């Protein structure tokens, strides 16, 4: 990174060592530039959300339908956990740790409420009838977790504690979250199809003359027909739309966040951009080895992001 006494605000980045985390989730890499207490808060919050998400995804894997009894059982589990969170009465030691973190960092419960709503949708629906339905689902599955990250970026010290950001974290997080989510859908195409997890809207599948079975066969390696390339190109277009909006939002947030937190968001943007740039709609096979940068490539993008990060 750039050195010199004229850039003291990036002193916190001088000792960063990403060597052990280059294959970690992108949000985790971004949060590593924070102070230890905020980073640990991030880990606790995201572990709780991962537990909720995996509860449903692991069962949906394989494409087997839920029975009515299973839906009721999973829904009862989800909302018993959520009610305990809302009441502040922990059901286990992990939730007790999460509640303590929420109190310390003044985190509201609404992101967990939105996430549980999205998971309930997953339980009761097989896919998305329209892009609009997917966008509503993303409020819980993508924007809610991103809002926690943005909240932790925008917290202010006041006395001995923290107070919430002075801006709307959901609005601030939405475009970057949706850019990331559409990149995820394309990046994980092979893995998701092999698990029978489908995030493509039914109306767009029909418009391109495709069925979920066509996607599954492509995920198994049977080739990418032109009509599927057209669909994936359309989803790349959605990602590009939100990328442009995210870039503007990040530039706007530069006036409201300290450099440490600006840099964490820039790292997230750049690492998803690195994947986005690898999407080849014309000739790509949409395999993990094709779309995922290797650790050396991630390291190079991280170094470039830190080296060129503007200092106010």
- Give the DSSP letter string of 239-270: HHHHHHHHHHHHHHHTTTS-HHHHHHHHHHHH
Compute the chain's Rg from CA coordinates.
20
- Phi first, then psi, for residue 208 (nearest 5°) are -100, 10
Q: Is the pLDDT of residue 3 over 50?
A: no
Strand partners, 128: 201
pLDDT of residue 74: 86
* 20 phi/psi in degrees, rounded to 5: -85, -5
- The pLDDT tens digits for 189-226 are 999 999 999 999 999 999 999 999 999 999 999 999 99
Domains and CATH numbers, the chain: 25-307 (1.10.600.10)
pLDDT in tens, 222-261: 999 999 999 999 999 999 999 999 999 999 999 899 999 9
Instruction: Answer whether 271's CB lies under 8 Å from 210's CB.
Output: no
For residue 15, the model assigns a pLDDT of: 55
105 vs 62: which has the higher pLDDT: 105
Q: Burial level of 20, CB count in 10 A (0-12/13-18/19+)?
A: exposed
**What is the pLDDT at residue 5?**
35
**What is the per-residue pLDDT across 161-184, written as a single tens digit (0 to 9) for each?**
888 999 999 999 999 999 999 999
Whether residue 7 is predicted with pLDDT greater than 60 in this model: the reply is no
Best CA proximity match to 144, nearest among 98, 174, 111, 106: 111
Alpha-carbon 21 to chain mean position: 17
Confidence label for 311 from pLDDT (cuts 50, 70 and 90)? low
What is this structure's pTM?
0.91
- Per-residue pLDDT averaged across 154-164, rounded? 86
**Confidence check: pLDDT of 113 > 80:** yes
Q: What is the pLDDT of residues 72-97, one digit of tens each?
A: 888 898 889 999 999 999 989 999 99
- Number of Cβ within a 10 Å radius of residue 10: 19
């Amino acid at each position: 990174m750039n050195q010199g006494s004229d850039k003291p605000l990036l002193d916190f980045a001088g000792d960063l060592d990403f060597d052990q985390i280059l294959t970690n989730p992108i949000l985790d890499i971004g949060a590593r530039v924070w102070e230890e207490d905020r980073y640990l808060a991030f880990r606790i919050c995201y572990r709780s959300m991962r537990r909720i998400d995996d509860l449903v995804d692991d069962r949906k894997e394989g494409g087997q339908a839920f029975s009515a009894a299973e839906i009721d059982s999973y829904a009862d589990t989800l909302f018993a956990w959520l009610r305990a969170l809302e009441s502040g009465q922990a059901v286990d030691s992990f939730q007790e740790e999460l509640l303590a973190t929420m109190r310390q960092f003044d985190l509201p419960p609404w992101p967990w409420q939105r996430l549980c709503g999205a998971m309930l949708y997953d339980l009761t629906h097989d896919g998305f009838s329209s892009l609009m339905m997917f966008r509503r689902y993303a409020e819980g599955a993508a924007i809610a977790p991103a809002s926690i990250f943005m909240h932790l970026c925008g917290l202010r010290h006041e006395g001995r504690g923290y107070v919430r950001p002075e801006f709307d974290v959901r609005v601030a997080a939405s475009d970057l979250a949706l850019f990331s989510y559409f990149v995820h859908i394309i990046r994980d195409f092979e893995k998701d199809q092999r698990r029978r997890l489908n995030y493509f809207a039914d109306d767009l599948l029909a418009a391109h003359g495709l069925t979920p079975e066509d996607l599954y066969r492509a995920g198994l390696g049977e080739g990418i027909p032109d009509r599927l390339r057209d669909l994936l190109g359309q989803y790349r277009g959605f990602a590009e739309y939100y990328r442009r909006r995210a870039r503007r939002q990040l530039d706007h947030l530069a006036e409201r966040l300290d450099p440490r937190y600006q840099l964490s968001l820039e790292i997230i943007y750049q690492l998803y951009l690195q994947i986005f740039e690898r999407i080849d709609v014309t000739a790509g096979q949409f395999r993990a080895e094709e779309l995922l940068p290797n650790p050396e490539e991630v390291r190079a993008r991280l170094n470039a992001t830190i080296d060129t990060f503007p200092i106010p």
